[in-house]
Amino acid sequence: MISAKNEEQQPKDASRRSALSWLSSVALFGSAIVSVVSNLVFIKPRATYGPPTKFAIGKPEEFPSGARISLEARRVCVVREGNKVAAISTTCTHLGCIVGLSETGFACPCHGSRFDQDGVVTGGPAPKPLPWYKISLKPNGDLEIDTGLEVKSGTYLNI
Amino acid sequence: MTVIERVKQLPSDVWTSIFRNPLPHTDHGRAATSFTNFFLHLHPVKVNRNTLRPMYTMGLGLISLFLFLILTVSGILLMFYYVPSTTQAYDRMLDLRGSVAFGTFLRNMHRWAAHAMVAAVALHMARVFLTGAYKKPREFNWVVGMILFLLTLFSSFTGYLLPWDQLAFWAITVGTAIAGYAPVIGKEMKFVLLGDATVGQEALLRFYVLHVAVLPAIVTLMVMIHFWRIRKDGGLSRPPEAEAAITQPDSISVQVVAGAKPNGGSYGLMGFVRGPFTKTGNVPDNSVFSWPNLFLAELFVFVLTVAGILVVAHFFGAPLEEPVNIMHPPNPAKAPWYFLGLQELVSYSAFWGGVGIPGIEVLILLLVPYIDRSPRGVGVWFAKERILANSLFMLFAVVNVILMIIGTFFRGPNWSFVSPW
């Protein structure tokens, strides 16, 4: 009698058990994915506290013709030739060191990358030329650089 | 029993309630001591004689563990005086020198133990490879060990930023730029790691949390798994000759001694644990009791490690450079010695040197036990059967050491070649 009852109940039990364990596995796996994704979302900052990308650098007269002035804190070099002015990044495209001015252009102290006057790679491991940034004249006569906006190499602002 | 007798007995009652066994004088006592003590039960009751040969393991795994303990203790103490803030961190380093009792000494200990741990873990890996110890059934423990090696490097890397001196800032600027070269996720990974576009306050805070909480917790967990698996995989690797001929059937029986069960019943401990080393009775074997043989050896390695770090920390100061100046990278800007091989490679190509080649190296090392499946040559240094595998590994090790030496001694300003003489 008892054994007959067991045989009768077993398939029902088994299917309920497998349905439950299947359901719990899906729930567990699903919540694992959700928590991994939400942790990644959490860890990626929405706001940063770094320096602003747009900043004024002063009047054009402060940069006489032929000047190549490196604004180290801003990681940008202001170049003026005649009436033309441009801003070239001084962050090495190799590994982010600050390149210094050299006789032939720029040189990186970290891994020996070399660039010419226009930021084109002339030696070392740097994979890309130094980017040029958008430079514009503000209504009050100040030059403004936007390091968030890269422009084509050789793009000067006429003043 | 009178009240006075009970009071008289109280101290010894308390003592025996804490320490289950008196100092053992019999084999049963020696077995019970290892078995019933929380700190000792990690060990088997008996170990194979081969495990105790100093020249087999050179104690490198133990040294790594003890260095990790030294780092944990000295690190927690340093945390009492450290603030992960770009305006305060460097001053706190100076305070450690000037106004904290033992501050300099603790920082020296922490720094040198970190360097030593990288070296010890790497040498331990070399030992395991050159003795073929990663072979079946220990394949996965090799993988756990590789993960621990990478965690050690990452712990050291995150700790590097915390003093907020020139070395710290530029090494991390270069290091995270390398991470940015990783395919697909590189840029995102760098941004998440730094919490910003450049190394600054957010990066310092993130590296601090990783260094003092996240990484030590993961390392602790992985170390536990590593040790657990050593036991479950049959103890340390050893050559087949180290095993005494088995004259008994496979199942192992342990005599339960008087007191536990009045009539001395016996339990069958089925062969869950690999390797026939849990024996009692007159089974011929090649093992000795862990107490005192193994424990004395471990104590000796511990004392030696602590003494070594104390001596080095006494005589050599941990370097501290100028405070961070984000406008002037030192020239040359060098990473710590164990990353200089990478930096040398990176000076040829950022992607291949920083991501490609190291990635392939790590992948091959992770897969070693699954590629080299021959069961022969286990438990001996430089086994004849393993001449190919060992030669390849030695080549790999020598090339990496040469790159480190070039990066350390032969590179000057602008990473140009200089002669150290």
CATH code at position A74? 2.102.10.10
Contacts of B327 in chain A (CB under 8 A): 72-73, 98
Domain locations along chain B: 48-239+291-415, 244-285
Neighboring chain A residues of B196 at a CB cutoff of 8 Å? 45, 48-50
DSSP letter for each residue of B326-362 = TT---SS----HHHHHHHHHHTT-HHIIIIIHHHHHH
What length does chain B have?
Answer: 421
Whether residue A65 sits in one domain with residue A116: yes
Q: Check B196 against A48: CB less than 8 A apart.
A: yes
Percent of chain B with pLDDT over 70: 90
Q: Which of A49, A96, A107 sits opposite B414 (nearest CB)?
A: A107
**Cis omega before residue B332 (within 30°)?**
yes
pLDDT tens for B356-382 read 999 999 999 999 999 998 888 898 999
B355 pLDDT tier (thresholds 50, 70, 90): confident
* A52 vs B: CB within 8 A: no
Which residue has better confidence, B418 or A10?
A: B418
Name the nearest CA neighbour of A111 among A100, A125, A123.
A125
Contact call for B202 and A97, based on CB within 8 A: no
Is the CB of residue A150 less than 8 Å away from at least one CB of chain B?
no
How many structural domains are present in chain A? 2
The verdict on a CB contact (< 8 Å) between B173 and A96 is: yes
Q: Mark whether A43 and A75 lie in a shared domain.
A: no
Tell me the pLDDT tens digit for each residue of B130-145: 999 999 899 999 999 9
**Which residues does chain A have within 8 Å of residue B348's beta carbon, measured at their own beta carbons?**
125
Task: Show the domain range for A81.
Answer: 54-158
Do A9 and A31 share a domain, yes or no? yes
Please classify residue B406 by burial: count the beta carbons closer than 10 Å to its beta carbon, then call 0-12 exposed, 13-18 middle and 19+ buried.
middle
DSSP state letter for B414: G
Are A78 and A21 contained in the same domain?
A: no
Instruction: Give the closest residue to A97 by CA, choosing from B281, B170, B283.
Output: B170
What ipTM did this prediction achieve? 0.72
What backbone phi and psi angles, to 5 degrees, belong to A150?
A: -90, 145
Residues A144 and A75 in one domain: yes
Q: Is the pLDDT of residue B196 over 90?
A: no
A16 and A67 co-located in one domain? no
Check: pTM over 0.90? Answer yes or no: no
pLDDT score, position B265: 47
* CA–CA gap between residue A83 and residue A66 (Å, rounded): 10
User: Does residue B168 carry a pLDDT above 60?
Assistant: yes
- Do A144 and A111 sit in the same domain of this protein? yes
Average pLDDT over residues A17-25: 94
B271 pLDDT exceeds 50?
no
Residue predicted with more confidence, B346 or B400: B400
Q: Give the nearest chain B residue to A112 (CA atoms).
A: B414
Which region among A128-142, B147-161, B241-255, B388-402 has the lowest average model confidence (pLDDT)? B241-255
Q: Are residues A134 and A93 in the same domain?
A: yes
Higher pLDDT, A50 or B60: B60
Question: Are A66 and A83 a contacting pair, CB within 8 Å?
Answer: no
Q: At which of A26, A48, A70 does a domain end?
A: A48
**In the predicted model, is pLDDT for residue B204 greater than 90?**
yes
> Between chains, do B329 and A109 touch, taking CB under 8 Å as contact?
yes
CATH fit for domain B48-239+291-415, picks 3.50.50.60, 1.20.810.10, 1.20.1250.20, 3.40.50.1950: 1.20.810.10
pLDDT on residue B262: 46
Query: Nearest CB to A49: which of B196, B353, B413?
Result: B196
Distance, C-alpha B338 to centroid of its chain: 15
Task: Choose among B174, B188, B416: nearest Cβ to A96.
Answer: B174
Q: Is A69 at the interface with chain B, CB within 8 A?
A: no
pLDDT of residue B246: 54
Query: A120 and A152: one domain?
Result: yes
A60 and A126 together in one domain: yes
Element (H, E) at A87: strand A84-89
Residues of chain B whose C-beta is under 8 A from some C-beta in A?
Answer: 170, 173-174, 176-178, 188, 191-192, 195-198, 200-202, 326-333, 343, 346-351, 353-354, 413-416
Choose among A45, A109, A127: nearest Cβ to B333. A109
Contact between B185 and B124 under an 8 Å Cβ cutoff? The reply is no
Residues of A in contact with B349 (CB under 8 A): 125, 127
Question: Residue B272's pLDDT band (boundaries 50, 70, 90)?
Answer: very low
Tell me the per-residue pLDDT of A34-43, one tens digit each, with 9 for 90 and over: 999 999 999 9
Test B177 with A124 for CB contact under 8 angstroms.
no
Same structural domain, A85 and A60: yes
CB atoms under 10 Å from CB of B354, counted, come to 26
My answer on whether A100 and A27 are in the same domain is no
Q: Is A148 on the interface with B (CB under 8 A)?
A: no
What is the structure's pLDDT at B325? 84
Per the CB < 8 Å rule, is A109 touching B331? yes
Chain B hits for A97, Cβ within 8 Å:
170, 173-174, 329, 333
- In the structure, what pLDDT confidence band is assigned to residue B251 with cuts at 50, 70 and 90? low
Q: Would you state the pLDDT for residue A6?
A: 54
Residue A126 predicted with pLDDT over 70: yes
Please judge whether B329 and A48 are an interchain contact, meaning their C-beta atoms are less than 8 angstroms apart. no
